[in-house]
Amino acid sequence: MIKVVLVRLDGTSGDEFRLAASESLAKLFDSHLVGLILNTLPEPALAESGVSVEFWTRLLQQARERGKELESDLRSRLRAISPSAELRRFDVYAHEQARVASRESRAADVFLALRLSDADKTVELHDVVEEILFESGRHLFLVADQKAFGQGFEHAIIAWNRSREAARAVAEALPYLAKSRAVTVVVIDQGAMSDLPAKEGDELVDYLRHHGISASIHVARGRGLDTSSALLEVIAEQKADLIVMGGYGHSRLREWLLGGVTFNLLRKSPVSLVIAH
């Protein structure tokens, strides 16, 4: 069940996108919506780098005032899109943002964010998204386009490789799959499987059937492509509008520690993405 949706808001143009997606998700699952403001404070180190304590104190006060103004504005906008909504504001230093967001996510069912973008790193905070994925115990719903999904999804595909992470993602995604008109279990055949590739998805199709979800199996031939590229081809061929996959990597990660498929899909998925670790 998806009954509490958490979304980070920051007063930028990205909020229009986040609020629209949050409204769709809240409508789809009749969920309570929680807006999270991580209001950044000036670092105390400024006061140790030649800046006077008085000046740093003034910056601190200004940051808190901006946070109050943002909170007032966003509270009104949240109320306008959902009858069940609340706003939480935390005044934090930059290095605390990821930890606070992950902590708050543990009292929600999902953290909604925009797909990561290397071209514009101001859209979403990479460390916040990655910390939530690996440390919160909750899944992420990453939005890639502005298509409304308040009535459900047309075609969900599951990237399946029998791993713990994939199994966790499927369990977290059951409410989304139940709201999808078609579900396909995708197995990438790179020519190294011990069993016939199609059999890799049989057990998952049976599992989903017990949850009232009808699914089919699609074996995608790698054709020399890496797994993420093969998945992107399947998304386009199958005209999918949702992908479910496990998130691979390490906690306290940097980009070079992320699994290649996770790294690429977090940034390149053309459709909404449910991802869990």
Does 202 map to a domain? Answer: yes
Same domain membership, residue 124 and residue 11: yes
100, 125, 143 - which closes a domain: 143
Does 148 map to a domain? Answer: no
114, 143, 172 - which closes a domain: 143
* pLDDT higher at 260 or 31: 31
123, 143, 163 - which closes a domain: 143
Q: What is the pLDDT of residues 243-263, one digit of tens each?
A: 999 998 754 444 444 567 888
pLDDT at 55: 86
Mean pLDDT for 149-161 is: 95
Confidence band, pLDDT 50/70/90 cuts, at residue 37: very high
pLDDT at 257: 47
Same domain membership, residue 157 and residue 98: no
Does 12 map to a domain? Answer: yes
Same domain membership, residue 127 and residue 17: yes
Same domain membership, residue 193 and residue 264: yes
In the chain, the percentage of residues whose pLDDT exceeds 90 is 67
Instruction: Domain of residue 247: give its range.
Output: 153-276
In the chain, the percentage of residues whose pLDDT exceeds 70 is 88
CATH number for 132: 3.40.50.620
First to last CA, the chain: 18
Residue 267 has φ and ψ, to the nearest 5°, of: -110, -20
DSSP string, 94-140: GGGHHHHHHHHHTTSSEEEEEPP-SS-TTSS-HHHHHHHHHHSSSEE
Mean of per-residue pLDDT scores for the chain: 88
Confidence band, pLDDT 50/70/90 cuts, at residue 228: confident
pTM (two decimals) = 0.90
- Spatial distance between the Cα atoms of 231 and 240, rounded to a whole number of angstroms: 11
pLDDT at 264: 86
Same domain membership, residue 136 and residue 117: yes
